[in-house]
Amino acid sequence: QKEVEQDPGPLSVPEGAIVSLNCTYSNSAFQYFMWYRQYSRKGPELLMYTYSSGNKEDGRFTAQVDKSSKYISLFIRDSQPSDSATYLCAMMGSDYKLSFGAGTTVTVRA
Amino acid sequence: GAVVSQHPSWVICKSGTSVKIECRSLDFQATTMFWYRQFPKQSLMLMATSNEGSKATYEQGVEKDKFLINHASLTLSTLTVTSAHPEDSSFYICSAQQEGIAKNIQYFGAGTRLSVL
């Protein structure tokens, strides 16, 4: 079993829709939870970073962490064609090493 | 701020040759840098952790003699793929970690696409 499981997708949504991305994890030692966006043939770009359970908002993005269920989510409101990318969840424990999900490719149709 | 530059972005080489990839933190000092490998439509897999002034720590299954890592300064780490073969063709990405309260944040380079003929 992988440490981090991410809903595989791909997802295709119309412009303006809400995009919902999810990951589960098995390692209770994970303390930090991130979402990265990766465009084709580019390095990942940090979108959101959370530490505790609960919600964190940044513009159109909301990150949710439920440590008791070992479940994290990212919501993108009012999605735009420019949001089309692969989204990677990532988690980190006290060793500061990142464990990534496999990624979900999102296409926002104009 | 927190920009990581990776060079080259794309390299093609002949089988048996060696290729060096550079990773630089442009506006901060990075005691620790990480090297990842990514196959098409797959996630990033950590290859090694590079610490300034000391030997790199490799993940299980990664050949340290094949993937030589040097972290000679606080802003530069290099990955050398020695005697490259077609199966080494992949997307290599580095990241750098800031010290202090932002230690849990890794900033990524743009990646290097290696094609071995």
Question: Can you tell me the distance from the alpha carbon of A110 to that of B12, in angstroms, rounded to the nearest whole number?
Answer: 36
Residue A92 touches partner B, C-beta closer than 8 Å: yes
Question: Can you tell me the distance from the alpha carbon of B27 to that of B29, in angstroms, rounded to the nearest whole number?
Answer: 7
Residues 6+ apart with CB under 8 A from A106: A9, A10, A11, A12, A13, A19, A21, A76, A79, A83, A84, A85, A86, A87
Quick check: B93 and A103 CB within 8 A?
no
- Whether the pLDDT of residue B29 is over 90: the answer is no
Predicted local confidence at residue B48, as pLDDT: 95
Residues 6+ apart with CB under 8 A from B63: none
Composition of chain A by helix, strand, coil, percent to 5 = 5, 55, 40
Asked if B50 and B106 touch (Cβ cutoff 8 Å), the reply is no
| Average pLDDT of every residue of chain B | 91
Residue A96 touches partner B, C-beta closer than 8 Å: yes
Tell which of A42, A49, A94 to mutate to test the B interface (max B CBs under 10 Å): A42
Angle at Cα B47 formed by Cα B63 and Cα A10, nearest 5°?
130
> Which of B45, B95, B111 faces A41 most closely, judged by CB atoms?
B111
Asked if A89 and A8 touch (Cβ cutoff 8 Å), the reply is no
Quick check: B105 and A42 CB within 8 A?
no
| Average pLDDT of every residue of chain A | 93
Token pair in block for residue B99: 């010290």
Where b means 16+ CB within 10 Å and e means fewer, A15-35 reads: eeeebebbbbbeeeebebbbb
Average pLDDT (B33-44) is: 90
Residue A45 touches partner B, C-beta closer than 8 Å: yes
Quick check: A88 and B44 CB within 8 A?
yes
Quick check: A98 and B44 CB within 8 A?
yes
DSSP B88: G
Closest residue on chain B to A88 (Cα)? B43
pLDDT tens by residue, B98-116: 776 666 788 999 999 999 9
| Cα B4 to the center of its chain, rounded Å | 11
Quick check: A32 and B104 CB within 8 A?
yes
Residue A32 touches partner B, C-beta closer than 8 Å: yes
Predicted local confidence at residue B1, as pLDDT: 64
Question: Can you tell me the distance from the alpha carbon of A47 to that of B5, in angstroms, rounded to the nearest whole number?
Answer: 19
- Whether the pLDDT of residue B42 is over 90: the answer is no
